[in-house]
Chains A and B, each alone.
Chain A
Amino acid sequence: MPGWRIGNLGDRLFRGIAATFATIIVVVLLVIAVALTQASRETLSAYGFGFVVGQDWNPVEGANEVYGALPFVWGTLVTSFLALALAVPISVGIAVFIAELAPEWIRTPTGFVVELLAAVPSVIYGLWGFFVLRPVLIEHVDPALSRWLGFLPFFRGAPLGNDVLLASVVLAIMILPTISSVSREILRAVPNTLREAALALGATKWEMIRSVVLPYAKSGLTGAVILGLGRALGETMAVTMLVGNKPSMSLSVFEPAATMASIIANQYPEAQGRQHSALTEIGLLLFALTLVLNILARLLVWRVGRLPGDAGRA
């Protein structure tokens, strides 16, 4: 912008307003961090770092009252990573299909349909998961898993419906569109000259994808996966409705668990005193966790190329 215009009052005013509004974003973010820290003072000073590794969560007032976040961190990580394990291969498959294999006429509608999955509200995933998917898992999948794989610690115990497995499967469906649409953009950003070079050397499509496209897009794809993880970590409604809400740490996917978001949704409305502080600190932890992940993902994705309108898909 030409410097001599700065003197114009209207322009200065306009610029000031725009700058103020833009700065509000920064302020809000800072205020969130400060407000959450402020409200979790009591447990921050009572437990310090021990809060994060504390294994016990017992809100009954008296001698047994204790707050530790580990069961929720555990529940959050287990459900999220299980969801990733289920969703990543499928999402990358979709991305490759849409970006590399599908003819033009099938590409757009498929991409559209997959992205519609992202538009379905999470409370509806919870509703569907509870009434439709849960009976299927109880009657068919769980018994089969415990019969054939019951010797593994991951499939021990009596499946009763609301458990890690159910929550993870629904989470996987929810994060699938996030990962696949970002991956697709990443694959599209791979220069065509690379593809042509590989094909010209006699590579099949798959050989081209494996030896040229995927290596080029590797860090971008990692970023896509981390964005999906970010969504899974913070997901509240569907998980709260399906995970069983029991703060425990078990290896078995047939056991109920509780996540950081689910314990907040369940206990925050009643929490007073130290429990309130502990829940706010879990909120703060969740905030910090997603913050770190987002930074990481964006650094990785940016290395390949900026995503158009990416914020909207996060």
Chain B
Amino acid sequence: MSVRLATVAVFAGLAVLGCKGDGSSPAAVGSASQAAKLPSPPADVSLNGSGATFPNPLYQKWVAAYQASEKGVRINYQSVGSGAGIKAISDRTVDFGATDAPMTDDQLGKATGKILHIPTTLGAVVVTYNVKDVPDHLKITPDVLAGIFLGDVKKWNDPRITALNVGVKLPDQAIGVSWRSDGSGTTAVFTDYLCHVSTGFKDKVGSATSVKWPVGSGSKGNDGVTNQIKQTPGSIGYVELAYARQTKLPTMDLRNKAGKFVEASLEAIAAAAAGSLGKIPADMRISIVDAEGQAAYPIAAFTYILVYEDATDAAKAGALAKFLWWGIHDGQKLGGPLHYAALPSEVVSKAEVLLKLLKASGKPLLEGK
């Protein structure tokens, strides 16, 4: 009987594997109506990617749209954080990685092949908060922002904040700082900005995908931080613009390099990118925080998909190259509704050059484009 049971267990396992292995629709919980909805033919190519949570809403949209038109391709993107994306592509446990923080020379040097940074979209890191009866668009200067995240500014009614927001009644409430507990490109972009504008922050904390925060508590992913702020009165944190907009959290207007208080918007992000166009290197690794320009939002960033220039599996690499080509062209118009700014045309042409470099076993993948 126990042998029988064990056998049953084994067969149950094998049955599940069997039906998955040959790619037919998983019939384990199947029904006629369901089978119709499932992709019944096996995908010719499965692509696995992981990394940044910053562009995740856009990538999920991309995948859904792309799979609808390209039947033979299945793409699985997991938003595990930029740090994890960099590790996954370095360890080759995925077909592509994703990050908002360009890989460092050191990280690139340790990888077992040449990794390219393909820019996919432009986003902004916003400072969002949850304080009762306080309106949207609180004004903040870089040094006060750094002060909050260093733990020097502890209360919402601190004179340094109230002086910037005359007419707004701020409560005598402790500021609860919220940050990312996982390795995050959003953290890297945000701390990169704070290091640009505050030497105190640069000395005490520094910039990386994970840093040692002097105050506050950590949550996982852009979603986790957004959720944490939503659920916690008195809290403040930094998230990608799309997360704040979709959940209707208020955001702060930041004073930029030109001295203007700017709201994070698609135009302000585009303005930040426009100011840096001349400086973009061929490998696309660039920080555009604290950008010049009257209308520029100071914490904008490119986000990238990471791929090996020379791949071994031609079918996979070919499908990936086509997907990325689609992304930097057709995919761009899906960004707007989700609060991601389209890549400037100069950047698209530079990205095209990079994509044309992609090859499998030495053979170019995108010939004739």
Chain A residues with CB under 8 A of B104: 61
Choice from B83, B207, B216 contacting A270 with Cβ under 8 Å = B83
Chain A residues with CB under 8 A of B233: 138
Question: In the complex, are the beta carbons of B218 and A246 less than 8 A apart?
Answer: yes
Quick one: closest B residue to A271, CB to CB? B87
- A228 CB to closest chain B CB (Å) equals 26
Choice from B106, B181, B234, B235 contacting A266 with Cβ under 8 Å = B181
Given known contacts A60-B206, A60-B207, A245 and B176 CB-to-CB distance under 8 angstroms: no
Which A residues from 249 to 304 make CB contacts under 8 A with B? 256, 258, 262, 266-267, 269-273, 275
Q: With an 8 A cutoff between CB atoms, is B199 at the interface?
A: no
Q: With an 8 A cutoff between CB atoms, is B40 at the interface?
A: no
Question: In the complex, are the beta carbons of A60 and B211 less than 8 A apart?
Answer: yes
Chain A residues with CB under 8 A of B206: 60, 62, 64
Which B residues from 46 to 91 make CB contacts under 8 A with A? 80-84, 86-88, 90
Q: With an 8 A cutoff between CB atoms, is A58 at the interface?
A: yes
Tally of A-B residue pairs with Cβ under 8 A? Answer: 99
Q: With an 8 A cutoff between CB atoms, is A121 at the interface?
A: no
Q: With an 8 A cutoff between CB atoms, is A54 at the interface?
A: no
Tally B residues with Cβ within 8 Å of A. 38
Chain A residues with CB under 8 A of B181: 240, 245, 262, 266
Given known contacts A162-B219, A266-B218, A58 and B80 CB-to-CB distance under 8 angstroms: no
Instruction: Give bound CA distance, A276 to B218, whole Å.
Output: 20
Instruction: Give bound CA distance, A229 to B90, whole Å.
Output: 38
Question: In the complex, are the beta carbons of A134 and B231 less than 8 A apart?
Answer: yes
Chain B residues with CB under 8 A of A256: 216-218
Question: In the complex, are the beta carbons of A135 and B182 less than 8 A apart?
Answer: no
Question: In the complex, are the beta carbons of A160 and B217 less than 8 A apart?
Answer: yes
Instruction: Give bound CA distance, A256 to B181, whole Å.
Output: 12
Quick one: closest A residue to B235, CB to CB? A160
Instruction: Give bound CA distance, A275 to B219, whole Å.
Output: 19
Q: With an 8 A cutoff between CB atoms, is B209 at the interface?
A: yes
Q: With an 8 A cutoff between CB atoms, is B303 at the interface?
A: no
Q: With an 8 A cutoff between CB atoms, is A158 at the interface?
A: yes
Q: With an 8 A cutoff between CB atoms, is A235 at the interface?
A: no
Question: In the complex, are the beta carbons of B211 and A269 less than 8 A apart?
Answer: no
Q: With an 8 A cutoff between CB atoms, is B361 at the interface?
A: no
Given known contacts A160-B174, A162-B217, A163-B217, A270 and B212 CB-to-CB distance under 8 angstroms: no
Instruction: Give bound CA distance, A271 to B84, whole Å.
Output: 7
Instruction: Give bound CA distance, A275 to B205, whole Å.
Output: 17
Instruction: Give bound CA distance, A273 to B228, whole Å.
Output: 31
Question: In the complex, are the beta carbons of A60 and B87 less than 8 A apart?
Answer: no
Q: With an 8 A cutoff between CB atoms, is B208 at the interface?
A: yes
- A63 CB to closest chain B CB (Å) equals 9
Chain A residues with CB under 8 A of B110: 272-273
Interface string of A127-171 (1 = CB under 8 A from B): 000110011001000000000000000000010111100000000
Given known contacts A134-B231, A158-B174, A161-B231, A59 and B210 CB-to-CB distance under 8 angstroms: yes
Quick one: closest B residue to A64, CB to CB? B206
Instruction: Give bound CA distance, A272 to B107, whole Å.
Output: 9
Q: With an 8 A cutoff between CB atoms, is B247 at the interface?
A: no
Q: With an 8 A cutoff between CB atoms, is A177 at the interface?
A: no
Question: In the complex, are the beta carbons of A160 and B176 less than 8 A apart?
Answer: yes
Interface string of B187-216 (1 = CB under 8 A from A): 000000000000000000111111111001
The 5 closest A-B pairs by CB, nearest first: A270-B83, A270-B183, A244-B217, A158-B174, A245-B218
Beyond A60-B211, A161-B232, A269-B83, list 9 extra A-B contacts (CB 8 Å): A59-B208, A158-B174, A161-B176, A161-B228, A240-B181, A240-B220, A256-B216, A270-B183, A271-B83
A-B contacts, 26 of them at CB < 8 A, read: A57-B212, A58-B211, A58-B212, A59-B208, A61-B104, A158-B176, A161-B217, A240-B220, A244-B217, A245-B217, A245-B219, A246-B213, A256-B216, A256-B218, A266-B181, A267-B183, A267-B210, A269-B84, A270-B86, A270-B209, A271-B83, A271-B87, A272-B86, A272-B110, A273-B110, A275-B210
